[in-house]
């Protein structure tokens, strides 16, 4: 996939997604991980551009990528997995009252992986 470097952040993103309750069996898991890695490497990407790059990699449609990521986030939301976000910040910043959008989730995970000393609970 063009513009996607599998660097040390690959395993960090995978670990964060698992902690957030996003199941690896979901197609959106891989798409979301790739979106985070793309955005972290170049925050000038628009979400639509990331969907196109990911769709090209997996030989699918952009709307399928968007929908699969949204489904992964919804599944994590439904089981309360997104509450794990609070552990990374050592305070309550999320109370599971609203589901994150795809873009909010991508930017949040980028922020977490770029923290100097993220809480490793």
Is residue 2's pLDDT more than 50?
A: no
Q: Which pLDDT tens digit goes with each residue over 23-79?
A: 999 999 999 999 999 888 877 778 889 999 999 999 999 999 999 999 999 998 888
Question: Which CATH architecture does the domain made up of 9-113 adopt?
Answer: Orthogonal Bundle (1.10)
In contact, 73 and 99? CB cutoff 8 Å: yes
């Amino acid at each position: 996939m063009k513009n996607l470097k599998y660097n040390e952040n690959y395993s960090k993103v995978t670990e964060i997604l698992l902690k957030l309750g996003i199941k690896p069996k979901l197609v959106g898991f891989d798409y979301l991980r790739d979106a985070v890695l793309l955005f972290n490497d170049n925050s000038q990407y628009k979400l639509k551009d990331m969907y196109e790059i990911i769709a090209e990699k997996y030989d699918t449609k952009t709307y399928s990528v968007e929908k699969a990521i949204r489904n992964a986030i919804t599944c994590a939301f439904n089981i309360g997995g997104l509450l794990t976000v609070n552990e990374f910040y050592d305070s309550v910043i999320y109370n599971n009252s609203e589901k994150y959008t795809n873009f909010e989730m991508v930017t949040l995970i980028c922020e977490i992986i770029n923290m100097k000393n993220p809480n490793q609970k």
